[in-house]
Structure 1
Amino acid sequence: MRKLYRAESGTVSVYLILIIVPIFLIQAVLIDYARVKAAEREADTAARAAIRSVLSAYDQDLAAYGLFGLTGETNDSSELFRHIFKENLSGASTGAFYKLLDTRPEASGDTIAPLYTLANHTVFEGQVLDTMKYQAPLEFALEIADKIQKPGAAKILANGALYAKEAEKFERLLNKREEAMDKAWQDVEALMKKIRSWYSSYQARITELNRLAELIGLNTAEDVAGRIKTLEVQISSLSASMSDLNRTIAAAAMAGPEAAGAVQGMMENLNSMQMRMNELTTDLSKWKELLENILKYAALIAVIRAEVVIDDELAQKMQKAIQEQLLEAKKANDELNTELKRLSTGQAEELKAFEAFKSIKIISEDEFRLYQTGIGTGAALFSGFRNKIETINVYTNSQADAARTANEAYYTKMEETYQRQQQIEAERSMQSAGIRQEKAKQRGKIQAALDKAKQAMGSCSKDQEEGLMVSPYEKLEKGGSGRLYGKYMSLNEVDPTTGTSSTFTLEGKPDDEIQLSMSLLGKLGQLSEGIRNEVFINEYAVSQFNYRTFGIEKDNGGQLKPIHALSEPAAHKLPQQEVEYLLYGFDSCMKNISAAYGEMFAFRFAVHMVEELMDPKKEMLNVGSPLLVLLAAAAEAGVQALEDMNELTEGKAVPISSKLTSPVVTFTYKDYLRVFLLLHSNDRRLMARMQSLIEINTDKPLDKAVTYVQGTANSSVSLWFLPGLMKLLNGAGVSSCEVADNRCTFRSQTNLAY
């Protein structure tokens, strides 16, 4: 045994076995590992081919809109996926080469999972952008941007919008100042009426008090009353004596002739007493008259002192109200002056109407100062008159003259101020009245144009309104979030009630309609700034859907323009109104058509206003009212806008402007829809409405139209060598397949979108 152990025969063979067997094992494992990896790669390729085949079965109706989505049954897609996957595996091939890999599908584990649909705004937008990325830039550049931007029209239009805004601002300040000046003058006239009445009244009373004072002299009421009482006692005593004497005379006369002498004596005595009675009665009357004058004097003193207090308080109150109105007017005047200095004069080079701001009258500081100090001084002098009245007790000639002087002082100052300001106010009032009258005249013309525009909005035909047994609008809008628009907004987690599109109903007052119309122009300068996606989506709207003049638009040669849209807009469920619905989202044809007409009229109205403002009448520039210049321009523009709208709604093109661009540069109804889509850009609402219309027209719910698919399939490949060792390798993480018997099974997953 020891010899066998120490023997050297066969050593080489054992050594070779120890070297070759591991090499063989390693090669066997590597061969199977390589085959597994090749099979996995083959299965992944087959899965991608299967997914592409599934996606190739896109819906043809949606494809007409440039959209791609699967709308068929899931079972059909799964069956197609399974079939294509199997056919692209080597196990289905008969060639000798493919037998190196006998990859074959497993019976279970195949799945098709839809991930996104065309209801998703991000997906929908992506497909729209891909569809329009070649067409939209060209269309927009040729039809919109070049026509407005290159000739510089947008800048002038924006200046027109600026003029309207500035005119309205200055009008508010002018109205504020003029209203304050009017109220102040009304109060001045009321105060002057009081002053004149007070002056006459106090002047008469001072004269009367002076007269009474001269009559009364140094007498007092107590002294006079005592004197009257004494006289009354004397008269009473004398009257009693005369009565007794009369009875005595009567008795003596009855005594006979012998008493004649006595009677004669008594009669003479009676006559003497009567004369005395007459003297006493006369004195009594004079003293009573004096007492009456004293009482009248005292009463008049009390009245004049009481009334002068009341009148002074009223004068000060009225003066304060006048000063407050003048301060308000001065504040507005100062704001006007500041705004005029702020306003650049450069715009007048492009828009002559800006010269109208130069004619606005600014009231000078001296004018305000004279007005305010005149009223203030007059009121202060009246207070001085009050003080004088309160200090005078006896209206002697000197005191009465002092009171008259004080009365004359406030009256003279107020009369002087009134007469000076009356001339100024008369001129201001005449000018304001003329401006108001002219404004009313121009507003009347504008209102007439607006009324005609409302009548010319047009109406929807029976086909446009009804279309189906059940109006499409019942499915689109009415009923809130349960309808299509609400559905697509909710699917994208957007509140269906969020925001509304701007509309021009032409129901407002002329001034409001002017500002609304001009506001459109101010946005034109932003048309080419960062709006790529919006342009693409908007162009998709006007190219895939119909509108009011769809099918009747003519080219420059008067021929009908060809229609290239594969979606056949003429056959849609909402004839000649779809883009209008996309813009405004109202629940009836008439509302949407009217909204588009109103806004289009407003746009043409604004453009013609700018044209008129470029060269307004000279007499208008010198009136001092920029708003009147704007109203006069609007009155002319309204008539011209009506003529434009008649052309546009007939499918004709009208020049953008006769002054801003060449007459050959025109816009059609469709072009204005492009502009409005951009001005009211809101992709969320627009895409939800487009999705709703597409579902209405195709009867294909876009929330069922799959655009992103995930496919999963199981397949396996046979192991030629040592499955157990491969299983150990899988446990170590070297391979991901699962070993069962002599086959290795693995899972292929791929995602693909249109």
Structure 2
Amino acid sequence: MSVIGKHSPSTRLDKHTGGLFLREDGAVSVYLVVATAGILLLTSLLIDYARIAAFHKQLEVAAQSGIRSTLSAYDNQLYEQYGLFGAGGTDRNEIFRHVAENNWMDNDDAFQMLRIKPVDAHVNSYEVLGTHAVFKRQVLEEMKYKAPVDFALEVVSKFAPLAEAMKEASTSVEVLEEVRKLYDKREKHLEKTLELQRKSARAAEQEMDGLLAVGGMGQSGGAVAGIVSGYGSYLGWIAHDSAPPAGARPKYSLEIGSYAMTARAVSNDLAHKSSNALIRHRELEPEALEQLEEARRCNDEMSAVIQRLQDNRDNTGYDLISGEQSNDQPASGASAPASQLQEVRQAAQDMILPSEWFAGYKEEVTAQTRKFNSFNAGTAGFQSGVSAALSNPGSGAMMSGSAERLQQAFNQYADDYIRPGVVIKARADGLNERQSSDEQRKEKEREAKSKWNEVRGWMKGMSESGQSEHQQAFDEVKQRFEANLLFNELGADEAISGEEATEDPHDAASASMSGMGSIFSGMADMLTGIRDPLYMNEYIVHRFNAYDPKNFESMMKSTGDSGFSDSLALGNQEIEYILYGFHDPAANIAAAYGEIFGVRLAVRTMEGLVECKGMGHPLLVLAAALLYGLEKSIADMMMLAKEGTTPLSKYVSTNLTYLDYLRVFLLLHGNSEKRTSRTIAVIEQNTEVILAGTSTGLTGELSASVNVWFLPGLMRSFTVLGLLNGKVKGGRYEATKTIGWSYQ
């Protein structure tokens, strides 16, 4: 102590001039203690903070290892059968805990910078396979390399050579079908117009029957002629009775009175009946003109249809697919009929009647009434002539002249409209000439209807096949399907039912051509960038079972065996169910069969247009082509049942399998959310795994603690201030780390 309190003179300095370290009040020792304590405090803080930072890193690494290991325990059946990853197998919490805790290899015999103790470890699911977005994402990952190549090479390349011919055939059928309906309406209106003209002529003939001769007249041709020819006798009777022999009574009083009465009655009857016939003409003329106007409207619509469809032919799916055809693939076989189909379509233009034709016909209809009106005006002159001739015997020439003029007027009318009726006959001949092939066409249409009814019978037989033993599986998958819809907040499914096939084979042909256009448009969309639907479709084709088309044979041959109904298990028609969604064992197969027949009908009708184009009238060509298409399509379906394939076309040497057809139908119907739910439902039905509860993304939550070496109170203050994310409890710093991971 003395050493500190005293100094030698040599070292003693004045306290006002000495340094800080040489002062005599002991301040230097206190400062050193304070400085050392601060350094120790800072060092302790840095050490604990560094240990906590290292602890956080170790906690994160352990959580990452744990969550990755947890996802490695996936459902093997889902992966092997459907290429999907979903957590399964060993308990996920146990895996996560075990792997995380084993990241901390504490050795009690060695010094440990961090002595980490686990507090809690568990995992939560944040993505499930039953969610459509997650499911589709996994499908895309699996199919993104394989699907485009498969589809382009296996399907598009088969249809591409046929694109140009099918485009022309589709346009030709669409034109001819619309023109056919309008043509039939136009011709019916023209037939009614002609019939109304005939009714007017018949009215004139019936009214004048017995009064005037029809088709030329001698003096004995009718009551009018009889009056004229009997006038001489009338004059003789009058002359005789005007100067009778002496004492004789008038001899011809009765004859004179009878002639006069008859003459007046005939002239009055003629005027009355002619007036009635004229009234009938005036009643029928507006009806005839109305029918003619309707015919003109139909004719104009025919022209507009042809022009509209001609203008709308560019930039279609057919064009895009045709453009994608590879240079090394020969297309001459399909391009040849395309040019011939253009001729068939252009021939429809010849069915259009010019506007001048209708103007001439209208004038002709009105002329018929005018001509009869002119004749009717002559009946008044004849009445006057009769009155004059009876009152003045010297006026017989007036009556004779008016009768002759009256007969001539009627003869002119009769020549045009009654017998021979050259005007009516010319119109009838024109009608018959235009319709000369109609009877042959209608015969072809009757045969086509018979063939179509045969096909409808097959499809109806499919729908009515006994399949009660398979219904339970469809009921179960329906429940799974509806549950997935609700899980994805899409609402309950609405009941659907198959559409009954149309009774008209023409409508069937039009629908098949429209369907082919949709197929080519879908292919074109796929080639120009619609990726996701294609991948999903190809996934369905690769991972699910399709129906064996050989089972069609027993149904088509009506053998009565149970082979068809026995084959309707859900496991035999998974693709068809996913595609159409009917919860009836036979309905999906019937729908697939109907659509395949539609494709065959479209292609074969195209061939029929080429084969039958030499038959002349475009509508006869259409009817014959439809019959050809039905006959060949039926043969194709028989071949599909026997061999599992059909030729695409006689002009393209390639075959289509049953699966090829399903692939294009998947593209045609679009990739709806309901189809995704049906796909999930089938997976659940086959694996007994509920995808809505199968995790594809997990979050691992790991809690642990590390001991605080120096300043637990200060560390607690840091946690309160938010400088540290954990908490200090009982001298240990505790923190929780959450890590998310998924299969995508």
Q: State the TM-score, normalizing by the size of structure 1.
A: 0.75
Deviation at 1:424, TM superposition (A): 3.9
* C-alpha distance in 1 between matches for 2:359 and 2:549: 67
Q: Quote how far apart the aligned CAs of 1:538 are.
A: 1.4
Overall identity of the aligned pairs, in %? 27
The equivalent residue for 1:319 is: 285
Alignment correspondent of 1:681: 670
Q: Corresponding residue for 1:602?
A: 598
Q: Secondary structure at the match of 1:751?
A: strand
Counterparts of 1:253-332 in structure 2, within 5 Å, are: 286=253, 307-332=273-298
Q: How do 1:209-224 and structure 2 match up within 5 A?
A: none
Tell me the residue number matched to 1:513.
Answer: 508
1:66 aligned to which of 58, 83, 87: 83
Alignment of 1:93 with 2:83, yes or no, is no
| Alpha-carbon offset, residue 374 of structure 1 | 1.9
Tell me by how many angstroms 1:324 deviates: 0.9
For the residue of structure 1 that corresponds to 2:699, the secondary structure is: strand
Alpha-carbon spacing, 1:370–1:460, altered in 2? closer, same or farther (3 Å): closer
Tell me which amino acid in the other structure corresponds to 1:607. V
2:45 to 29, 34, 47: 29
Code of the residue aligned with 2:341 in structure 1: it is A
- Deviation of 1:306 (Å): 5.6
Contact 1:69 1:118 in 2 (8 A): yes
CA contact (8 A) 2:66 2:95 kept: yes
Q: Is the 8 A contact 2:168 2:342 kept in 1?
A: no
- Identify the residue that residue 423 of structure 2 maps to in structure 1: 420
Native 8 Å contact 2:550 2:641 kept in 1: no
Task: Write the deviation string for residues 535-567 of structure 1: whole angstroms up to 9, x where unpaired.
Answer: 211122122221223999xxxxxxxxxxxxxxx
Find the counterpart in structure 2 of residue 82 from structure 1: 97
Q: Is 2:438–2:620's contact at 8 Å kept on the other side of the alignment?
A: yes
Amino acid at match of 2:294: E
Seen in structure 2, the aligned counterparts of structure 1 residues 550 and 300 have a Cα distance that, compared at 3 Å, is closer
Secondary structure of 2:650's match?
Answer: coil
CA distance in 1, matches of 2:262, 2:568: 101
Ranges in structure 1 where 5+ consecutive residues have no aligned partner: 218-274, 478-482, 553-570
Is the CA contact (8 Å cut-off) linking 1:538 and 1:677 kept in structure 2? yes
Q: 1:465 to 1:114 in 2, by over 3 A?
A: farther
Counterpart-to-counterpart distance in 2, 1:97 and 1:425: 119
Identify the residue that residue 135 of structure 2 maps to in structure 1: 124
State the distance in 2 between where 1:460 and 1:368 align: 51
Q: 1:103 is matched with which residue?
A: 116
Q: Deviations over 1:331-373 (max 9, x none)?
A: 2223334444566599997241332332633323343233221
1:54 corresponds, among 48, 54, 70, to 70
Q: Structure 1 residues 466, 212: closer, same or farther in 2, change over 3 A?
A: closer
Using a 3 Å threshold, how does the CA distance of structure 1 residues 710 and 294 change in structure 2: closer, same or farther?
Answer: farther
Aligned to 1:145: 156
- 2:701 aligned partner, one-letter code: T
- Give yes or no for contact 1:43–1:748 (8 Å, CA) kept in 2: yes
> 1:749 matched to which residue of 2?
738
Structure 1 residue aligned with 2:440: 437
Asked whether the 8 Å contact 2:534–2:667 carries over to 1, the reply is: yes
**1:21, distance to aligned residue in structure 2 (A):** 3.8
Taking a change above 3 Å as real, the CA distance of residues 215 and 666 of structure 1, as seen in their structure-2 partners, is same
Instruction: Could you tell me which runs of 5 or more consecutive residues in structure 2 were left unpaired when the two chains were aligned.
Output: 6-13, 213-221, 236-245, 314-334, 390-397, 552-566
Q: Deviations over 1:667-713 (max 9, x none)?
A: 21111111111111233232222222112211222222222223323
Q: Against the structure 1 CA distance between its residues 647 and 308, is the aligned structure 2 distance closer, same or farther, given a 3 Å change threshold?
A: closer
Alignment map for 1:513-552 (pairs within 5 Å): 513-526=508-521, 527-529=523-525, 530-549=529-548
Residue 726 (structure 1) aligned to one of 706, 709, 715: 715
Shift of 1:319: 0.8
Q: Structure 1, residues 461-518: CA drift from partner, whole Å, max 9, x if none?
A: 99x95777x73122124xxxxx222222222233454596987x66633212212222
- The CA distance in 2 between the partners of 1:710 and 1:93, in whole Å, is 26
Q: Secondary structure at the match of 1:656?
A: strand
Residues 550 and 576 in structure 1, CA contact (< 8 A), matched pair in contact too: no
Structure 1: how far apart are the matches of 2:666 and 2:633? 21
User: CA 1:415–1:746 in 2, change beyond 3 Å: closer, same or farther?
Assistant: farther
**Contact 2:576–2:592 (CA<8 Å) still a contact in 1?**
yes
Residue of structure 2 in register with 1:656 after alignment: 648
Q: Aligned to 2:703, what secondary structure does the other structure show? A: strand
358 and 21 in structure 1: CA distance in 2 versus 1, 3 angstrom threshold: same
**3-state SS of 1:586 partner:** coil
- Tell me the distance in 1 between the aligned counterparts of 2:702 and 2:645: 59
* Deviation for aligned residue 1:82: 2.7
The 1:311–1:630 alpha-carbon spacing in structure 2 relative to 1, beyond 3 Å, is closer
Match of 2:563 in 1: none
Q: What's the Cα RMSD here?
A: 4.2
Taking a change above 3 Å as real, the CA distance of residues 722 and 212 of structure 1, as seen in their structure-2 partners, is: farther
Q: Return the alpha-carbon distance in structure 2 between the equivalents of residues 48 and 491 of structure 1.
A: 30
Check the 8 A contact 2:75/2:85 in 1, yes or no: yes
Matched, 1:475 2:492: no
User: Residues of 1 paired with 2:285 and 2:143: CA distance?
Assistant: 73
Cα distance per residue 1:310-340 (max 9 Å; x no partner): 4333211211111111111122223334444
- Greater Cα offset, 373-382 or 400-409: 400-409
Shift of 1:425: 2.0
Q: CA deviation at 1:307?
A: 5.0
- Out of 23, 35, 38, the position equivalent to 1:8 is 23
| Partner residue in 1 for 2:558 | none
Match of 1:666 in 2: 655
CA distance in 1, matches of 2:464, 2:495: 29
Which amino acid counterpart does residue 120 of structure 1 have in structure 2? T
Distance 1:85 1:461 in 2: 61
Aligned-pair CA distance for 1:20: 4.5
1:492 to 1:338, Cα distance in 2 relative to 1, 3 A: same
CA contact (8 A) 2:208 2:274 kept: no
Q: 1:617 to 1:651 in 2, by over 3 A?
A: closer
Q: 1:573 to 1:34 in 2, by over 3 A?
A: farther
- Quote how far apart the aligned CAs of 1:84 are: 2.6
The structure 1 residue matched to 2:620, chosen from 618, 628, 631, is 628
CA distance in 1: counterparts of 2:223 and 2:438, whole angstroms: 47
**Whole-Å separation in 1 of the counterparts to 2:636 and 2:294:** 45
Gap change, CA 1:371 and 1:401, over 3 Å in 2 = farther
Distance 2:253 2:366 in 1: 48
1:690 equivalent among 676, 679, 703: 679
Paired residue secondary structure (1:630): helix
Q: CA deviation at 1:444?
A: 0.7
Q: For 1:487 and 1:688, locate their aligned partners in 2 and report how far apart those are by CA, in whole Å.
A: 9
Q: Is the 8 A contact 1:644 1:654 kept in 2?
A: yes
Selected match of 1:354 from 339, 342, 346: 342
1:164 and 2:173 aligned: yes
Aligned residue for 2:300? 334
AA aligned opposite 2:505? P
State the partner residue of 2:11: none
Task: Give, in angstroms, the shift of residue 456 of structure 1.
Answer: 9.3
Is the contact made by 2:70 and 2:95 (CA closer than 8 Å) also made in structure 1?
yes
**Partner residue of 2:481 out of 478, 485, 489:** 485
1:38/1:467 Cα in 2 relative to 1: closer, same or farther (>3 Å)? farther
**Equivalent residue, structure 2, for 1:576:** 572
**How far, CA to CA, are the matches of 1:430 and 1:609 in structure 2?**
27
CA distance in 1 between counterparts of 2:438 and 2:173 reads 18
Cα distance change, pair 745–377 in 1 and its aligned pair in 2 (3 A): same
Aligned residues: 651
TM-score (norm 2): 0.76
Change over 3 Å in CA distance of 1:533–1:342 after alignment to 2 = closer
**Do the aligned partners of 1:173 and 1:333 also contact (CA within 8 Å) in 2?**
yes
Instruction: Kindly indicate whether the alpha-carbon contact (under 8 Å) linking 1:160 and 1:351 is maintained by their aligned counterparts in 2.
Output: no
User: Is the deviation greater in 132-141 or in 187-196?
Assistant: 132-141
Mapped partners of 2:132, 2:540: distance in 1: 15
CA deviation vs aligned residue, 1:358-403 (integer Å, no higher than 9, x gap): 2633323343233221220221344455566679974436478558
Which residue is equivalent to 2:183? 174
